[in-house]
Structure 1
Amino acid sequence: MIGAGVAGSASAIALRRIGAEVTVYEAYPDPAGPVGAFLSLAVNGLRALDSLGCLEAVRAVGFEVDRQLMWSGRGRRLGDVPRGRAADDPLRSVTLRRADLVAALRAEAVRRGARIVVDERLGGPDGGAGPADEAVAGADLVVGADGLRSTVRRMLDPAGPQPAYAGLYGVAGVARAVPEAGPGRTFNMTFGRRGAFAHLPAPDGTVWWSAQIADPVAPAEIKLGAEELAELFAAEEVPRRILGATERIDAATLFHVLPPVPRRQDGRCVLVGDAAHPVGAGQGASIALEDAIALARALRAEPDRPTALAAFDRERADRAGKLARTAATNRSAKTAGPLASLVREAVMPLVFTRVYSRSTDWLYDYRPGALPQ
């Protein structure tokens, strides 16, 4: 296994559940460290966690969110839908810090008997062969769970597609409670003039927020603080007030897109998670969890490894591709110009809530299946 983030740790658990010997090589000293900010798991991701045996551990370090509200920059409500679930689903979406999710998954992987080796990357420290390269050369199965800039993906197809800037960059942080943030257990998305602003009140009284700024040119470095962000969202009252109460900034990142990857497995190596299909739309972690279970089930059902990997690839490609198209639509909404924004404000209240169920039930109704105990 290459990569001990969400996809790698989940795959390690799933493969141990079917009896495989698993060693995970991670490039960073602490893959559960403070990388990124918060993320949300929709109910399809929670069902995958349940199959892995980690649902309660993850719930314990996050909090449930019931509703998702969509707002115009002028404060007009554009939509009100269940957050990450069908309306009649008893499960509730869970929001938590990425580091806490990775830590919970890693702990379960180790408890199940996986070996995790940190601070080891393919190519070694000077580009030569290191322990990870030797392990890859001798492994029966190599799982590339090493993210958007996957080294394993380049091994499979050196001429394959590369990530490109998506026209958005993001900054995330934590603010003090402000009355304008609204009630708890609610995720809010405001479509502003310069981008989108998400926030949700946390149980500890703080407000977790994420600003996604539209810019056709990728900044060389993201240096924006809360004051500069408040200026960018000066026309949107609620985001401006939350940014004005900010206590700390947790993450800043460029968003990227990746064209469809034509070669995701070769009979011995296989890609999972963002290495295979960075889907976006708030589903990156959930799809990685699904991948882990689907891979283990395919390998258990079919003794011939190349046949099993081909079956896994076919099963996951259609679902991930459909979600990637949804993510592209979401990105377009966040980078819309003034005219498109006016059209959205006029039309969205009339249609969004009505069509939401029809457009998302296929995603949230997914059942990953069971794994052996």
Structure 2
Amino acid sequence: MSSSSRTVLVIGGGAAGSAATILLRRAGIDVDLVEARHDWNATAGSGITLQGNALRVLRELGVWEQVRASGHGFDSVGITAPDGTVLHVAHDVRTGGDDLPATVGMQRPVLQRILVDAVRAGGARVRLGTRPSSFDQDGDGVDVRFTDGTEGRYDLVIAADGVGSATRAALGIAARPEPTGMAIWRVAAPRPDGLTRTDLAYGGPAYIAGYCPTGENTIYAYVVEANRDRASIPAADFADEMRRLTCAYGGFWPEITSHITDPAAVNYTWFDRMLVEGSWHRGRVVLAGDAAHCCPPTLAQGAALSLEDSWVLAGLLAGADVWDDALLQAYYERRIARVRPVVEASVQIGRWQLEGARDADVPGLMGRVMTGLRELP
């Protein structure tokens, strides 16, 4: 079957779904992308930390120059005391190779707009505000009915519909995200003069207090605590709750805290972990990104792993004459060996903090995992 006669449905227009769509279209494969949200996630999230291995994929997508111009690149992370005293500055591993920064911080909606523009430029058929309602597979393809009453037939379906993936559940895959015991408050804020990298404070009223520059004039800031019953925290109190935690920190924090005033701008989420084991496909429906795995952001690898999934999967599909079970299982085997250590390390770092482990080698574990990510996925 020629590439031009193949059709793929991509479910979800986030990083993984957009990347898969861009790469498959470049290979001459017909792609329909459906996204449940009418606004295509245009305002979702405050900021995002992109490690070098994420930047490597974004360069393959043809959007690296836009990302570089829109975000802020840096190569080190500071460890501070709660009062802001810098205790140590570590040089980050350039996981994308020496010709890319170790890290770029940027506003998440800006990254989403860049990916959306690239998807549209690639010629995919995009439909917003709809999602699949049923799948009917046979040996040659998948018949899909959508919530807007339409239907279509595809040679393959890529489910990149996030950590709460309805497709994963519909396929009968039992894996579900599980809380790790921690939660994070996040907010976007103006960038203080002199703030040029991520700094992390351990201790104080939160487990971690940190921030990341996301552009010339912006940052996102976050504090990590033990998770609480979300129903017990009224949304109207989000700014007050985050300020209560951040006001105990020094350095740049007093200036950042002064801008935490709008509860609608503050996001509170639990840390979850999930890793689908055995295979990431059932028939001709295959998972990618957060639908297949998620982990706490302690290594800032969520977006990178999702982008890598799409790069690997699209490469295998574009290079194969036959799309069969063996090909999709090869995708899983290639990805699981890379994803599992990141998920396990991300969870372990949080567990050490919850347990108050004094002898935990966090820098050593992080260094080993990040060094391994320099290898091509």
What TM-score, normalized to structure 2?
0.82
**Identity level (%):** 27
Secondary structure of the corresponding residue to residue 295 of structure 1: helix
Q: How many residues align?
A: 350
Aligned to 2:333: 314
1:191 maps to amino acid: Y
| Contact 1:184–1:202 (8 Å) recurs in 2 | no
Q: More displaced, 292-301 or 328-337?
A: 328-337
Aligned to 1:148: 163
Give the 5 Å matches for 1:164-175: 164-175=178-189
Give the 5 Å matches for 1:1-373: 1-75=10-84, 77-83=86-92, 85=94, 89-92=98-101, 93-123=103-133, 130=146, 135=151, 138-158=153-173, 160-176=174-190, 178=192, 183-192=194-203, 193-201=205-213, 203-215=215-227, 217-221=229-233, 223=235, 224-238=237-251, 239=253, 242-246=256-260, 248=262, 250-262=265-277, 263-280=279-296, 281-306=299-324, 307-337=326-356, 340=357, 343=358, 352=363, 357-363=367-373, 365-368=374-377
Aligned to 2:4: none
Displacement after TM superposition at 1:32 (Å): 3.3
The CA distance in 1 between the partners of 2:15 and 2:214, in whole Å, is 22
Change (3 A) 1:312 1:97: same
Change (3 A) 1:361 1:221: same
Displacement after TM superposition at 1:140 (Å): 1.0
Displacement after TM superposition at 1:260 (Å): 2.6
The CA distance in 2 between the partners of 1:258 and 1:357, in whole Å, is 21
| Contact 1:272–1:292 (8 Å) recurs in 2 | yes
Displacement after TM superposition at 1:6 (Å): 0.9
Secondary structure of the corresponding residue to residue 319 of structure 1: helix
Secondary structure of the corresponding residue to residue 30 of structure 2: coil
State the structure with bigger RCO (CA 8 A, min sep 6), 1 or 2. Answer: 1
| Contact 1:191–1:334 (8 Å) recurs in 2 | no
| Contact 2:201–2:210 (8 Å) recurs in 1 | yes
The CA distance in 2 between the partners of 1:79 and 1:299, in whole Å, is 45
| Contact 2:53–2:304 (8 Å) recurs in 1 | yes
User: Which structure has more strand as a fraction of its residues?
Assistant: 2
Which runs of no fewer than 5 residues in structure 1 stay unpaired? 369-373
Displacement after TM superposition at 1:221 (Å): 4.5
The CA distance in 1 between the partners of 2:226 and 2:105, in whole Å, is 24
Change (3 A) 1:117 1:161: same
Displacement after TM superposition at 1:336 (Å): 4.5
| Contact 2:345–2:369 (8 Å) recurs in 1 | no
Secondary structure of the corresponding residue to residue 60 of structure 1: helix
1:239-259: CA deviation from partner (whole Å, max 9, x where unpaired): 455323435563413224244
Change (3 A) 1:54 1:168: same
Aligned to 1:371: none
The CA distance in 1 between the partners of 2:161 and 2:85, in whole Å, is 41
Secondary structure of the corresponding residue to residue 11 of structure 2: coil
The CA distance in 2 between the partners of 1:42 and 1:212, in whole Å, is 20
1:269 maps to amino acid: V
What TM-score, normalized to structure 1?
0.83
Displacement after TM superposition at 1:277 (Å): 1.0
The CA distance in 2 between the partners of 1:146 and 1:317, in whole Å, is 19
Secondary structure of the corresponding residue to residue 73 of structure 1: coil
2:272 maps to amino acid: V
Which runs of no fewer than 5 residues in structure 2 stay unpaired? 1-9, 135-143
